[in-house]
Amino acid sequence: MAEITLRQQPYIPGFTVGEYLDLVDQHFPETGARLWFGRKGSHTELARLAGLSNEFETDHHSGRGDSYRQAQRNPTIRMRGIRTLFTLASGCADVRRIPAGWRVLDLLGGDGLLDRVFSCLAPQARGAVITSDMAGHMVAEALRAGHAAVRQEARYLFMHDESVDAALLAYGTHHIAPGDRLAVCREAARVLRPGGRLVLHDFEADSPGSMWFSGVVHRYSKAGHPYRHFTAAEMTRLLKLGGLSSITLHRIYDPLVTRGESLEAAGAEMADHLYDMYGLTELAQPHAARADIRQMIWKLAENYFLHRESDAPDDAGSEWQREPVIYQDGPEWVALVPRVALVAVGEKR
């Protein structure tokens, strides 16, 4: 049988590499110019990628991809933390000052949530985010929604050297196997232009944020959550060994925030968000009442996202709360689950 060419290789659901490249050339030419499918080893990596699957593809078997995407329809829930990540990645204290033409590669980009949030926060630089993810269904969904997106594993990028101004590893960095973490940082550093920044974000090992994953997500999602979270020392070491300099560490406020017309509506939206985002399907008996499930989730959030005064993030403002709360804000009610994320930033010389 004739060997299939690179363009004929299956790539994302419904697209071969060739069909994908044609689509990118037509709709996202600036991203197309950064792609490098002719890179040595691409053929092997594409074949490997086609055989890979993780829990973020769909909800079939032990997955939570469909429900995860459902939870991302509201771009405001994680807006505060995401804004801070863009300020750290760009070096601009105000995201509205990020210049048009700046490009950031969102390496664990899912279905493009960070791009959606960025477009709301910094419309002057719209188009800055290139969404990148190993899950085919995530990338297919991102493209369908109009985001420039690439399917690639973070440890091997189909992208040219020095082709972006910043790279983000956020909201799921613990999913990268410990043995791959240095290779991922080196690969991100390769695609950064000199002076570009790599931002590494996670919920620190043994913090309320990571204990939520081990105590709740591991226990009540079908896939479980057997991943090792990062420490500050590991982040610093990885960025140094990855060849980055001027390394800084930050503990940022990264809450989940929902709004509603009543206390009940804001609380219900938060509970449903947590249920979908983390795929907490094993929490209750199959026919349990929705109100009871919401109550269970809120109780778990209260038990886990309980911070000490000394846990206050570096950027704690008037919004900082040590524990989950629902309060009235003008005509609206706000449900807030506080989280503090650990972030390391390094610069390419």
Residues at the site binding ligand SAM, with contacts judged by CB under 6 A: 54, 56, 72, 108-110, 113-114, 133-135, 138, 153-154, 171-172, 175-176
Nearer to ligand SAM, 130 or 326 (CB): 130
CB of 246 to ligand SAM, least distance (A): 25
Task: Look up residue 330 and give its amino acid.
Answer: G
CA separation for the pair 64, 153 (Å, rounded): 19
CA separation for the pair 274, 177 (Å, rounded): 24
Tokens of 227: 């991943």
DSSP secondary structure code for residue 99 in this structure:
P
Nearer to ligand SAM, 154 or 247 (CB): 154
Pairing of β 164-169 and β 244-253: unpaired
CB of 109 to ligand SAM, least distance (A): 5
DSSP secondary structure code for residue 3 in this structure:
P
Give the number of other Cβ atoms within 10 Å of residue 349's Cβ: 9
Nearer to ligand SAM, 154 or 164 (CB): 154
Q: Could you give the C-alpha distances from 124 to 48, 74, 288, in angstroms and in order?
A: 38, 21, 47
Tokens of 283: 């929490």
Nearer to ligand SAM, 110 or 267 (CB): 110
Nearer to ligand SAM, 247 or 277 (CB): 277
**Which residue minimizes CB distance to ligand SAM?**
110
DSSP secondary structure code for residue 137 in this structure:
H
CB of 135 to ligand SAM, least distance (A): 4
Nearer to ligand SAM, 278 or 333 (CB): 278
CA separation for the pair 177, 329 (Å, rounded): 42
